[in-house]
Structure 1
């Protein structure tokens, strides 16, 4: 790394040290196994002991997005209606949004991409029957995979905008432009930010390696391998959609061909991504992403 790059990264790290921590209740929720059959009861127990969390759950259960027939005041009814997993995902997004407030067009574009990657990752994970990874972890990792870009935009906005103006067309070009121009990438910055925010180690490493195409088939933990390639696939698909606004008019065959050619790398050998099912569901997934973005921007 060049000397000036090292100094810049050190400056970024100093700013990262001043980032506010995420709510303690979120750390507690992340600590529990989402596949545990008692997960719902644990979330309910925490919400009853944490007034802000209880208020958040009841507020969302009564929101337009949930659209109840009558006003809900009971925390158990509210949590049952919304779902424990969805509440944790929403709370995570809201908490991150309070650190990186979506108050500019650039930030909103970053948020839109991150939410799309989260939604796609969760959907794909549900269809990967031979994967041990759970969809909720895939969602959270997708939401946070570009936290380094959020951090760079907050701390070195001029350098961030300079990279954006170079007109990259896929995630690998972005990564290459950052490395060449700055001497470091948003994946490195994201890892530093994730450690500061005290995210689980699996998420920290997924953020760190989400541009490393040598992860699949390596000797690192299989759960991390699965998480990284799902993020890489979903990242490429979100960018494909962003760069091709007319995608909605493509035929099923065109969409599937583009997904295969732009999102599935040779290094993913042996992985059967659910391309046909995904292409059918994509309009609905993008609509869901838009609704989530509107919720985040209402922070």
Structure 2
């Protein structure tokens, strides 16, 4: 594929249209209502008819991330252990990983960041009492929030490097630097890529607006969408903090809590009642889970 240092959004769009589509079975899984009580049976039926999907489910159910007490060889048992919604998210991550294979330290860090945002967001959904968004939806939103950066690394790596060279101190500065340098940013590119891959509209819109922090307090917008933007905002900053301070695991809980409060809790999300103390206490375990997930999808 031809690369060029400076490209307009039309050029990017043209190449996005040439990206390989995700597996048909993944589209099939995404077209069904995940809240349907028969969703589990639907996934099981698809797995029985799709050997690669069945193999993936059993393999993950027996992986270190799943930590089974004994070997699982039965598909139904494996799916019960992993969970139907989790299968969709893991399969999505693995499928995207085959398209955007990390070749540089920057691309490996981007994969680490995306998995962290996905994992942290899912955890917060499970522990925040006022949040109604599905934890697996939050995971998918986190996985795809920086899809535009994956595309830009693949199609116009020199242009992306130009924005990095310009330097950005915090996540909110990143799209501003990109727009000033290139005329577009990774949020716009990610939205186009999500549409190409026929992601749910909620995921497409979250990818497009995850740096529009004022969305968080706009009561006219759907609650689920606002919750996802809150989660992306907070976890994006947390992941950036961990990358900036690789010695964070040596900090006391009190120091880590203070850093997260000061550096990750933007004014727009202060009123969201995020369980930050619970999150900070769980952060080392969540970080290790991210490492295991990266290994499970071959990153």
Q: Determine whether 1:158 maps to 2:158.
A: yes
Within 2, Cα distance between the matches of 1:279 and 1:62?
29
Alignment of 1:73-222 (within 5 A): 73-218=73-218, 219-222=220-223
Equivalent pair of 2:125/2:132 in contact (CA under 8 Å): no
Cα pair 1:169 1:239 within 8 Å, conserved: no
The 2-side partners of 1:34 and 1:232 are apart by: 25
Q: Secondary structure at the match of 1:242?
A: helix
The answer as to whether partners of 1:248 and 1:283 remain within 8 angstroms in 2 is yes
Deviates more, 1:66-75 or 1:146-155: 66-75
Match of 1:281 in 2: 282
After superposition, what is the alpha-carbon deviation per residue over 1:166-214, rounded to whole angstroms, capped at 9, x for unaligned? 3322211212211111111100110011111110100000000000011
3-state SS of the aligned residue for 1:103? coil
Measure the CA separation in 2 of the matches of 1:269 and 1:248.
25
Give the Cα–Cα distance (whole angstroms) in 2 for the partners of residues 134 and 64 of structure 1: 25
- Structure 2 distance, partners of 1:56, 1:294, is 14
What is residue 249 of structure 2 aligned with on the other side?
Answer: 248
Name 1:48's counterpart in structure 2. Answer: 48
Q: For residues 6 and 292 of structure 2, what CA distance do their matches in structure 1 show?
A: 40
In the alignment, structure 1 residue 224 sits paired with structure 2 residue 225? yes
Question: What residue is the counterpart of 1:27 in the other structure?
Answer: 27
CA drift at 1:67 = 5.1
Matched, 1:260 2:269: no
Alignment TM-score, normalising by the size of structure 2: 0.92
Stretch of structure 1 that moved more, 174-183 or 72-81 = 72-81
Alignment of 1:65-76 (within 5 A): 65-66=65-66, 68=68, 71-76=71-76
| Secondary structure in 1 matching 2:172 | helix
- Preserved contact between residue 65 and residue 289 of structure 2 (Cα < 8 Å): no
Change beyond 3 A, Cα 1:16–1:68: same
Q: Which runs of 4+ in 1 moved over 4 A?
A: 67-71
Paired residues in the alignment total 294
TM-fit CA distance, 1:31:
2.8
In structure 1, distance between residues paired with 2:240 and 2:109? 11
Deviation of 1:6 (Å): 10
